[in-house]
Structure 1
Amino acid sequence: MYAEFNGTFITLGGFVEMDRYRYLYFFILLTLYILILCTNGTIICLIWIHRNLHEPMYIFIAALSLNSVLFCTVIYPKLFIDVLSQKQIISHSTCMFQYFLCYSIGISDFLLLSAMSYDRYVSICKPLQYPTIMGKRTVIVLLTVAWSLPTGEVVVATVINSKQKLCDFTTNDILCNNSILKLHCVQSTFLIFYGVFISMTAVVVPVTFILFTYIKIFLITYHSCAEVRKKATETCLPHLMVLFIFLCLSFFDVIITTLDSRQSKHVRFIMTLQILVYNPLFNPIIYGVKMKEIWKHIKRLFYQLVNKRI
């Protein structure tokens, strides 16, 4: 049917038992979207309002929360439409736009986590030099790189993707990810090698840098006093937890896009939902509970709301 439109529309064939669970899906997705907006919005607002949180570490946390809001705003509204519609379709141009935003934001998260690990390294291992090294200019440069580098890398892949001829118009997913490459009539060798290049520069290098900095931090703090070790644990553990979750979800994305279409549709659907839920929802919860200063302001905000009601 959609071939008649010269490939303008693509069918999203990854949904499971839509007729049976349509309204349940909508309720769950809407609830999750509201929770993600509220939790991440709270973190951003607290860091924006309180001057004692205007430090590089908290600014990077706010940037991660902002990325989560943007990522979900790109994905969830379209999911609402899809679960309530009889046919789950998306225009090719919109699909490419979603593809571009999803991967540029995802790669940006890795770079922000790298910036956070560098910030923790300087704070714990070079405390006297910290104000000089992690000044306002450094933070601005790190944020600019974290947002602009992925944009530049992914926009190239998106433009090339959008110009490929499609021989299939049904993807096995519920959003536009790398699985759309399987819709091309001819697999582009350049896209394959360029994808490897992006993976190396945007994932392998940042993750290696993060692990290297945290290993150095733990080696140095191991020989330090108990107070220094406690500070390192309190500030580094949340970052490592977020990194672990994000690596798992990235691994899921790779598995999803490489799964054969004959594989279980339910497995693919569940794994995709985990990508859409875990990182955006758990990040603010981890930072809100594990970061002492943020948790202090959250408790104060909660008490204020309770007292107003009383």
Structure 2
Amino acid sequence: MVNTTQVLMFTLSAYLDTGVLKYLYFLWILSLYVFIVCANVLLVVVICVNRSLHEPMYLFLVSLFVNELYGSTGLFPFLLVQILSDIHTVSAPFCFLQIFCVYTYGSVEFINLAVMSYDRYLAICYPLQYNTRMTSSKVAVLIALTWLYPFIGVGVTISLSSPLQLCGNIIKTVYCDNYAIVKLACSDTRVNNIFGLSYTSLVVFVPLSLILYTYMRILKVCFSGSKQTRQKAVSTCTPHLASLINFSFGTLFQILHSRFDMSSVPIMLRNILSLYFLTCQPLFNPLMYGLQMTKIRSLCKNLICGC
């Protein structure tokens, strides 16, 4: 049994001894990280420097791309160090810092996608009133709330987890996870569980309910509207819907991995599934929006070619 005051380091037990293959994995992860950073930075620069893109839809996209950079930076450098390391340990303060980054990334992602669906709902269902309903001040407030609420909520979550009395220091994942630490606790964790479930409901189920409602209204307008309205809805909603499905898919894997016994699943597959929402979403979003949205695609070509 490990005393609370002695838990200064956590051991990540999900890493495999891959021998010389670790250098191949290192190069593959590094290439993926470099591509994610370049793609998301490119789109942020394109939107910021072109005044024609200073519209609510594109400003919410900037918030989304910045979050992809934030989330991937909270994981990839740590992952690269651990791949090359022979002893997979992490200090307790850094572990909680990574938990803060990963959890705020996931929360911001869901809320940002909900805000974007609300924006598309106003643009398609109330096109004549859009500019009066989605003002610049309202955009600023929505973006601020998208980031502020997760930072406060996750901060409270960590403040409840860090004082727990732990009976061990082995985490069965490849990165720090709050629920994995809570499961190590010898003390009462009812407050942690209640707050965790409440916070998860607010940042997952409430945004999903809002997205479901907005898409039901958008579909209703599309079926009763003109061909031009349907084309506008398809062109602007397809990337958003694809992004939502991809992120929900990855989040579901992470919930299953952390909450249920997955020992029957090969450890390599468990690791890949647990990393899905942290690696594929930052890669998926810039590709989806960059390729699907004609205005962004053409401006990216002009910027890259120096035209």
TM above 0.5, yes or no, is yes
Give the ranges of 4+ consecutive aligned residues of structure 1 lying more than 6 Å apart after TM superposition. Answer: 1-5
Alignment gaps of 5+ in structure 2: none
Q: Give the Cα separation in 1 of the matches to 2:216 and 2:272.
A: 34
> Structure 1 stretch 210-219 or stretch 185-194: which is displaced more?
185-194
Q: Give the Cα separation in 1 of the matches to 2:105 and 2:278.
A: 13
Q: CA 1:251–1:261 in 2, change beyond 3 Å: closer, same or farther?
A: closer
Question: What TM-score results when the alignment is normalised by the length of structure 2?
Answer: 0.95
Local SS of the residue matching 2:90? strand
- Post-superposition offset of 1:302: 3.7
> Structure 1 stretch 147-156 or stretch 11-20: which is displaced more?
11-20
Note if contact 1:30-1:80 (Cα within 8 Å) is conserved in structure 2.
yes
Alignment gaps of 5+ in structure 1: 306-310
Q: Does 1:297 align with 2:295?
A: no
Note if contact 2:2-2:167 (Cα within 8 Å) is conserved in structure 1.
no
Q: Please give the per-residue CA displacement for 1:208-239, whole angstroms capped at 9, x wherever unaligned.
A: 10111011011112111111100000001110
Give runs of aligned pairs for residues 1-310 of structure 1, distance below 5 A: 6-177=6-177, 178-186=179-187, 188-260=189-261, 262-263=263-264, 264-304=266-306
Number of positions where the alignment pairs a residue of Structure 1 with one of Structure 2: 305
Q: CA 1:28–1:187 in 2, change beyond 3 Å: closer, same or farther?
A: farther
Q: CA 1:267–1:63 in 2, change beyond 3 Å: closer, same or farther?
A: same
Letter in 1 for 2:212: L
Q: Give the Cα separation in 2 of the matches to 1:296 and 1:233.
A: 19
Q: Please give the per-residue CA displacement for 1:179-209, whole angstroms capped at 9, x wherever unaligned.
A: 2222222350111111110111110010110
Question: What TM-score results when the alignment is normalised by the length of structure 1?
Answer: 0.94
Cα root mean square deviation, aligned:
1.8
Q: Give the Cα separation in 1 of the matches to 2:5 and 2:164.
A: 16
Q: Give the Cα separation in 1 of the matches to 2:240 and 2:60.
A: 11
Q: Give the Cα separation in 1 of the matches to 2:87 and 2:182.
A: 22
Q: Give the Cα separation in 2 of the matches to 1:85 and 1:2.
A: 24
Letter in 1 for 2:110: F
Note if contact 1:16-1:269 (Cα within 8 Å) is conserved in structure 2.
no
Letter in 2 for 1:205: V
Letter in 2 for 1:194: F
- Post-superposition offset of 1:278: 0.8
Note if contact 1:181-1:187 (Cα within 8 Å) is conserved in structure 2.
no
Q: Please give the per-residue CA displacement for 1:272-310, whole angstroms capped at 9, x wherever unaligned.
A: 2322321010011001011121111122234438xxxxx
Q: Give the Cα separation in 2 of the matches to 1:187 and 1:280.
A: 36
- Post-superposition offset of 1:26: 0.7
